[in-house]
Amino acid sequence: MNLFILKLGGSVLTDKDKEFSLRERLLRDLAGELSSLEEKFVLVHGGGSFGHPLASKYDISSGFREERQLVGFSKTREAMEKLNFRVVKALNDAGIPAISIQTSAFTVVEDGKIISMNIEILQKLLEIGIIPVLYGDSVVDIEKGMSILSGDQLLAEIAKKLDVSEVILGVDTDGVYTRDPKENEDAELIPKITPESWENIKNLIEFPTESDVTGGMKNKVEVLVNLAREGIESRVINATKGGNITKCRRRNKKVGTKISRE
């Protein structure tokens, strides 16, 4: 099975400056592009302006400490289900047989980390030709009561358990930069990162200070570098630009930032 994992960040699907704001036209375009690919894939998406503001407001990632967090946990779940529904609908409308997989229904989390996952569910869906769509979400945590399971952690666990050819991280910049390219004209694109080079540059790079309860760009790169150590190649691309996913799957070395073992 020629399988890849696509993570669409919340900054791609939503306007992070406006709560519950979906970029509908871009989502339709992405679904149309994905429908032209013959390969199977697992889609994971972030929360953007749907999940992050609520998760931050109620401090879900710190665990259950007070009663007010209960409604926050529920509201975060509700918001993510609404976003996920729109993503799945766009894929279905484009002719892709996709279904939602509730994050907390097939994973067990302890102290914010996945300790087990029913990967057989994804394997069987892919085998019969259905595209699983997963998302970062508020989940039950057997140690802390509740926590946030990020889409980045999800994709890492799935990549390790399934025989994937590549992981693609779709963001709203042209890859990984030395500084935030939206704020700094002198920001430089980093075309390639390896585990060795990452150790030398990670503390020198300034990353966006976006409101992201899952750690922002630096944490995302850390996840992909760890996958590279296990031989799983990734690429960070600008998913807001049409055709970039297709170019990436055609091994276009000029797209985004490549993250690999060597």
Domains of the chain (ranges, CATH numbers): 3-259 (3.40.1160.10)
Tens digit of pLDDT for each residue in 79-106?
Answer: 999 999 999 999 999 999 999 999 888 9
Task: Note the pLDDT of residue 87.
Answer: 98
Task: Note the pLDDT of residue 208.
Answer: 59
Q: What's the pLDDT band for 215 if we cut at 50, 70, 90? A: low
Task: Note the pLDDT of residue 170.
Answer: 96
Tens digit of pLDDT for each residue in 218-251?
Answer: 889 999 999 999 999 999 999 999 999 999 888 7
Task: Note the pLDDT of residue 213.
Answer: 54
Share of the chain above pLDDT 90, in %: 78
Tens digit of pLDDT for each residue in 140-149?
Answer: 999 999 999 9
More confident residue, 179 or 76: 76
For the whole model, what pTM was predicted? 0.92
Task: Note the pLDDT of residue 88.
Answer: 98
String of DSSP letters for the chain: --EEEEEE-HHHHB-TTSTT-B-HHHHHHHHHHHHT--SEEEEEE--HHHHHHHHHHTTGGG---STHHHHHHHHHHHHHHHHHHHHHHHHHHTT--EEE--GGGSEEEETTEEEEE-HHHHHHHHHHTPEEEEE-EEEEETTTEEEEE-HHHHHHHHHHHTTEEEEEEEESSSS-BSS-TTT-TT--B--EE-HHHHHHHTTT--------TT-HHHHHHHHHHHHHHTT--EEEEETTSTTHHHHHHTT-TTSSEEE---
Task: Note the pLDDT of residue 252.
Answer: 65
Rounded average pLDDT over 38-52 = 93
Dist. CA 132–CA 119, nearest whole Å = 11
Task: Note the pLDDT of residue 253.
Answer: 64
Lowest model confidence (mean pLDDT) among 16-20, 108-112, 152-156, 219-223: 16-20
Tens digit of pLDDT for each residue in 12-26?
Answer: 999 988 899 999 999
